[in-house]
Amino acid sequence: MNNKFGLFVGGLIVIVIVLIIAFSGGDMNEQEDNMQVQSTPAQQQITVSEEEPLMSESVLVSDGQSGDKVVVRSVEIAGPSYVVIHEDDGGKPGKVLGKSTLLSANANNITIMLDREIKAGETLYAMLHRDDGDGVYEFPGDDAPVKSGGKVVLDKFSGKGDGMAADDMKDDKDKEMARERTINMVSGNFFFSPNNMKLVKGEKVKINFQNTGIHTFTIDELGVNVRLTGRSGQVEFTPNKAGKFRYYCAIPGHAEAGMIGGLEVLEQ
Ligand SMILES: [Cu+2]
């Protein structure tokens, strides 16, 4: 019994010593003598609860690209970036076919030369990469893909679809897939993030929502009006007219409080 108790106390002492060393970072001789755990002043943990910044970085390329170049309709960036064109590798971005010059601001209608001709109907990706400050594109390296909401900012587009590859697609669903544009959106009290987006007329978009609260995603001119109630959801639609519109939450007071965004639908 005594032995066990001694063992127990001994164990406690060892633990206390280990703790003291861990907290003091050394100099244990002095502390070993008076065996008291010095109370380290509680580090004030300041938790900054920041809303996720309103990221509106985007890249947009129309379908039907052909030849040995790609025209990027619109690029929105928050820092010096490149638009990099990747070919498809089993459903995800693969080899690099070309890249833009270093972009330092938002831009429209940028032409990117490719290493080869675009095949009819093939899937390509335009991806944003952030420059690390030296103005030279390095990837793999320091010029990492730009992420928004944990996902890489990219646009999937297709080559002009009048050739073999497009005809080879098994059914209409496959063709739809190649044309699909995905946007990740955070909605809550009382914001949409991003609060602006660009789409192309006739090109389907899928918006993945990460939601808090009860809201709607509404675009009057395009006949879109969807309730957002859960933590996540998806809204799919194909803009059938070009122009400048707004998306908003139709619950009274929410748009006024900030649940509103600008939408531009470009002609194809
Ligand atoms: Cu709302």
3-state secondary structure 18-59: HHHHHHHCCCHHHHHHHCCCCCCCCCCCCCCCCCCCCCCCEE
Q: Distances in Å between the alpha carbon of 182 and those of 136, 151, 235, 242, 261?
A: 29, 11, 10, 19, 17
Predicted confidence at residue 101, as pLDDT, reads: 86
Task: Please tell me whether residue 142 adopts helix, strand or coil conformation.
Answer: coil
Return the pLDDT at 149: 66
List residues, by chain if needed, whose CB lies under 5 Å from ion ligand 1: 215, 249, 251, 254, 259
Taking 50 as the threshold, does the pLDDT of residue 3 lie above it?
Answer: yes
Measured in Å, residue 86 CA sits from the centre of ligand 1 at 37
| For residue 196, pLDDT beyond 60 | yes
CB of 205 closer than 8 Å to CB of 247: no
CA 220 to ligand 1 centroid distance, Å: 15
pLDDT for position 8: 58
Pick the closest to residue 253 from 212, 209, 195, 214 (CA basis).
214
Quote the pLDDT of residue 57.
83
Ligand 1: centre distance to CA 60 (Å):
27
Eight-class DSSP state of 145: B
Both structure tokens of 136: 């030279």
Between CA 44 and CA 83 the distance in angstroms is 43
> What confidence tens digit (pLDDT) does each residue in 216-236 have?
999 999 999 999 998 999 999
For residue 264, what pLDDT is reported? 94
| pLDDT for 35 | 38
Q: Average model confidence (pLDDT) for the chain?
A: 78
Ligand 1 center to residue 250 CA distance, Å? 7
For domain 180-268, is the CATH number 2.60.40.290?
no
Residue with tokens 């109630």: 229
Q: How do residues 80-127 score in pLDDT, each as one tens digit?
A: 899 999 999 988 899 999 999 899 888 888 899 898 999 988 889 999
Contact 201, 266 (CB under 8 A): yes
The alpha carbon of 104 and the centre of ligand 1 are apart by a number of angstroms equal to 34
- Per-residue pLDDT, 48: 36
Per-residue pLDDT at 11: 56
233: CA distance to ligand 1 center in Å? 15
Beta strands in 20-177 (DSSP E): 58-61, 69-76, 81-89, 92-99, 107-113, 123-130, 147-148, 151-152, 154-158
Distance CA 109, CA 212 (A): 36
Q: Is 65 helix (H, G, I), strand (E, B) or coil?
A: strand
pLDDT for the residue numbered 56:
73
The pLDDT assigned to 170 comes to 47
Q: How far is the CA of 248 from the centre of ligand 1 (A)?
A: 8
pLDDT grade for 10, boundaries at 50, 70 and 90: low
Residue 38, both tokens: 């010095």
pTM listed for this prediction: 0.57
The CATH code that applies to domain 54-178 is: 2.60.40
- Confirm if 175 and 165 have CB atoms less than 8 A apart: no
pLDDT at 36 over 60: no
Question: Residue 185's pLDDT band (boundaries 50, 70, 90)?
Answer: very high
Ligand 1 geometric centre to CA of 51 (Å): 16
Q: Which tokens go with 228?
A: 């957002």
Q: Is the pLDDT of residue 151 over 90?
A: no
- The residue-averaged pLDDT of 124-139 equals 88
Q: How far is the CA of 216 from the centre of ligand 1 (A)?
A: 6
